Amino acid sequence: MEFKIKTGELATLKTPCLVLGVFEKSKLSGVAEDIDAKSGNRIASILKKGDMDGEVGKTLMLYDLPDISADRVLLLGLGKKKGFDRAAFRKALAGLFPQLQQSRARDAVLALPDPLPADTYASVRDVVLAAEDKAYRYTRTKDDKQPLKTPLKRLTLWVPKKQEIAAAELAARHGSAMASGISLAKELGNLPGNICTPSYLADTARDLANRFKELQVEVLEEEQMASLGMGALLSVSRGSRQPAKLICMHYRGGKSGDKPIVLVGKGLTFDAGGISLKPAAEMDEMKYDMCGGASVFGAVQAACELELPINLIGVVPSSENLPDGDANKPGDIVTSMSGQTIEILNTDAEGRLILCDALTYCERFEPGIVIDLATLTGACVVALGKHAAGLFTQDDKLAAEILAAGETAGDRAWRMPLWDDYQSQLDSNFADIANVGGRDGGAITAACFLSRFTKKYRWAHLDIAGITWLTGKEKGGTGRPVALLTQLLLDRA
């Protein structure tokens, strides 16, 4: 979708559809009041009939308003004026764009409401993200049974002052790149496991490198990983006919001496649990177990599109986890790249096995920070539900950066404990460490496991198991936490 910024006389602006905000109790936003006055109070008289009261996300289409150049005027409910915030604005936008896509208007103008829920930059970026989110449609392996006859192609955001244009244009540019990364993460997550294999992800990385000259890609094959001693990662892939890949994407936008930011994303393209087989119900959703890797792809693409002045490395260890005669068995002991031995008590706790070798591999990059993200534990979903990612780190400054980025992007995380008290749950009688620590504090002990492989750099872990896909009728990838990651990269640029 194309986004434009305009200012000037709104009543004389020619457009197929003009969107205006209405608060609860039919209170017009400031700009809507101006249009109402120019139309001879036509909007107010229509609202008095009771067809709309400003409930958040509700819409009402009007036609042929006198002395208004727009073909249509779409009223958008914004909810209560008192306490109108970004959350309410996002909810309103979520109701707007499906309606706008059905309006047969290829172009539309959205007049930012007065008052705004945040500054111009944040408000415009929220609009762009909401528009692109609702425009995404998965069609790779199915016919679009209800294709839009006249999908929205261009959205113009109207701002009241010329001084706001620069901030609005920057927000539109940032939002578009962020949304593009989110769409990529959604698409990779939504693809079935027989298409989106580790080799497919490796090819996706190469395709990105062909698009962006600043990006270089290296893919380690199983033979190379074996020579490096990645016994934990390779133990997971033994049960699959698909060879594992360690995908490294190097974006060099900063100075040669600048330490890179490293993002490590779990890329389990399908997780049946291995010998510790998962229940059959909803196992199809385990294609989403690579959403950590998908989000790394999305963040790297956004950084490339924005040409950020940073050095960034995206690392995606990718494999499948399937039952097989050569698969890991409960009680097996493997040796990680770090030299630490691991007793595999549960083969369904495989994500940490592929991540630990990838995290050790990251030492060679001499990183400024490393953030890993993974659909790691159901325990985190129980703890935080579907709203926030779980953040684990002992680095208070890094935690504050990540939390602030999440708040700014509307893609929030919540800090969880990572105390040494939990480490003893990973004790093993037969190896240096067990891969699970029991039911109590499962998300925490998973993070404790990873922490044993990150002693040589600043590190944080995001457990994203609850936020990366929706279930039920709306089943599909969300693209989270690409927005958080991109915001963090913008903050560090």
Q: Give yes or no for residue 353 having a pLDDT over 90.
A: yes
Confidence of residue 145 (pLDDT cuts 50, 70, 90): confident
- At 103 the pLDDT is 84
Band of pLDDT at residue 144, cut at 50, 70 and 90: confident
Position 471 pLDDT exceeds 90: yes
Query: Closest Cα partner for 235 from 332, 363, 315, 331?
Result: 332
Q: For this structure, is 352 an active site residue?
A: yes
Note whether 233 and 354 are within 8 A (CB).
Answer: yes
Q: Is 186 annotated as a binding residue?
A: no
Has residue 278 got a pLDDT over 90? yes
Beta carbons within 8 Å of 357's beta carbon, 6+ residues apart: 225, 228, 230, 231, 232, 233, 317, 336, 337, 338, 453
Residues 210-266 have pLDDT tens digits of 999 999 999 999 999 999 999 999 999 999 999 999 999 999 999 999 999 999 999
DSSP 117-165: SS-HHHHHHHHHHHHHHHH----TTS--SS--SS---EEEEE-S-GGGH
Q: Please, are residues 148 and 136 in contact by the beta-carbon 8 Å criterion? A: no
Q: Of 278, 415, 458, 492, which is the active-site residue?
A: 278
| Number of C-beta neighbours around residue 243 at 10 A | 18
Q: What is the DSSP letter of 278?
A: P
**Residue 170: what residue type?**
L
Q: What is the pLDDT of residues 159-208, one digit of tens each?
A: 999 999 999 999 999 999 999 999 999 999 999 999 999 999 999 999 99
Q: Pick from 447, 445, 483, 477: which is nearest to 462 by CA?
A: 447
User: Binding site annotation covers 348?
Assistant: yes
271 is in an annotated binding site: yes
Instruction: Indicate if 278 belongs to the active site.
Output: yes
Element (H, E) at 169: helix 165-190
Is 207 annotated in a binding site? The answer is: no
**Residue 69 pLDDT > 90, yes or no?**
yes
**Per-residue model confidence (pLDDT) at position 411:** 97
pTM of the predicted protein model: 0.96
Average pLDDT, the chain: 96
Helix and strand totals (H; E) in the chain? 14, 21
> What's the pLDDT band for 149 if we cut at 50, 70, 90?
low
Quote the DSSP letter at residue 316: E
Which residue among the candidates 352, 412, 452, 480 is catalytic per the annotation?
352
Q: Are 73 and 64 in contact (CB under 8 A)?
A: no
Please check if 53 is assigned to a binding site: no
Percentages helix, strand, coil for the chain, rounded to the nearest 5? Answer: 40, 20, 40
1-28 pLDDT, tens digit per residue, is 999 999 999 999 999 999 999 999 999 9
